[in-house]
């Protein structure tokens, strides 16, 4: 029987699963299945959706789940909302493990927007060669931009609709400042687009942009879903402590 369900897909989720397994906790990590060859965490793994909040609540009950940790990406809105509703219905404690967002520092030229659609409008005023690091599923927002040249970095190949002038770079982090600087120079990038994902895995591009004087368009995180507020922690150690308290171990 599953004791802990980790809604994963992030580095923090994998680290949490590894920590739980090392403590002898039965854990199942759930992955959305949007990446063809994901990095698999320790313990049991399931891939694919639950069928909305009702399906997730049913799964929690059927598997005797004692706790749920939502360690999904800060922009994974749908599963976050389902977790809040399902955990309340199944009366299972829920924790949100969310890395802190990035903070603008001296020398940064950041432009904050609320959506990728706003980013698409803004980039056409800021430059001609745009580096998109906002994920393959967000490329449709830029399909109407016919003038700029886009370089999009993705883990898997994107699907239409896409910007007409697009070059795709298939790659997976973590990245280095040296590598990101070389990429900005090689492709003559004059605008960087990113989501406020937070974490250290992809901060190198922000450092490189600062050093190269490249403006950055940053998409703000969406608000947390409505419903009973779940406690939130910012690191894996705190999540492990929370699970231990729930399980009494």
Q: Give me the CATH topology for the region 110-219.
A: Rossmann fold (3.40.50)
Tens digits of per-residue pLDDT, 98-119? 999 999 999 999 999 999 999 9
Residue 183 has pLDDT above 80, yes or no: yes
Residue 106's pLDDT is 95
Q: In this model, does residue 225 exceed pLDDT 80?
A: no
Query: For a pLDDT cut of 70, what percent of the chain falls above it?
Result: 100
Interval 127-146: pLDDT, tens = 999 999 999 999 999 999 99
pLDDT at 228: 74
Cα 244 to Cα 162: distance, rounded to the nearest angstrom: 46
> What are the pLDDT digits (tens) for 10-51?
999 999 999 999 999 999 999 988 777 788 999 999 999 999
Instruction: Provide the pLDDT confidence category of residue 87 given band limits of 50, 70 and 90.
Output: very high
Cα–Cα distance, 108 to 128 (Å, whole number) = 20
Say yes or no to pLDDT of 156 above 80.
yes
Instruction: Starting at the earlier edge strand, list the strands of the sheet with 191-195.
Output: 110-113, 216-219, 191-195, 129-132, 149-154, 166-170
Query: Average of pLDDT values for 219-233?
Result: 87
Q: State the pTM of this model.
A: 0.91
Judge whether residue 2 has pLDDT over 80.
no
CB 158 within 8 A of CB 168: yes
HSE-up of residue 209 (Cα within 13 Å, Cβ side): 27
Q: 196 with 51: CB under 8 angstroms?
A: no
Domain 4-100+222-247 has CATH 3.30.950.10: no
SS3 state at 170? strand
Quickly list DSSP for 3-37: SEEEE--SHHHHHHHHHHHHTT--EEEEE-S-SSS
CATH 3.40.50.720 residue spans of the chain: 4-100+222-247
Mean pLDDT score of the chain:
95
Structure-block tokens of residue 198 = 């937070």
Kindly report, residue by residue over 40-82, the tens digit of the pLDDT: 999 999 999 999 999 999 999 999 999 999 999 999 989 999 9
Q: How many CB atoms neighbour CB 236 within 10 A? A: 22
Rounded CA separation 85/53 (Å): 6
- Cα–Cα dist 60/58, whole Å: 5
């Amino acid at each position: 029987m599953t004791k802990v369900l980790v809604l994963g897909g992030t580095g923090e989720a994998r680290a949490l699963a590894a920590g739980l397994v090392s403590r002898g906790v039965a854990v199942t990590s759930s992955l959305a299945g949007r990446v063809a060859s994901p990095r698999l965490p320790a313990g049991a793994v399931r891939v694919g959706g639950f069928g909305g909040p009702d399906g997730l609540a049913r799964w929690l009950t059927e598997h005797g789940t004692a706790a749920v940790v939502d360690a999904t990406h800060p922009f994974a809105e749908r599963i976050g909302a389902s977790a809040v509703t399902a955990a309340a219905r199944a009366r299972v404690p829920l924790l949100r493990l969310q890395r802190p967002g990035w903070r603008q520092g001296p020398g940064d030229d950041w432009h904050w927007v609320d959506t990728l659609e706003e980013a698409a409008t803004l980039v056409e005023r800021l430059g001609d060669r745009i580096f998109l690091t906002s994920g393959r599923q967000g490329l449709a927002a830029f399909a109407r931009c016919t003038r700029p040249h886009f370089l999009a970095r993705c883990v898997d190949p994107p699907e239409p609709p896409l910007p007409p002038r697009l070059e795709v770079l298939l790659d997976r982090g973590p990245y280095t400042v040296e590598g990101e600087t070389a990429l900005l120079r090689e492709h003559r990038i004059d605008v960087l687009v990113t989501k406020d994902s937070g974490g250290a895995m992809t901060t190198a591009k922000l450092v490189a942009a600062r050093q190269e004087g490249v403006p950055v368009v940053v998409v703000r995180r969406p608000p947390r879903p409505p419903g009973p507020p779940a406690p939130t922690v910012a690191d894996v150690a705190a999540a492990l402590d929370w699970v231990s308290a729930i399980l009494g171990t």
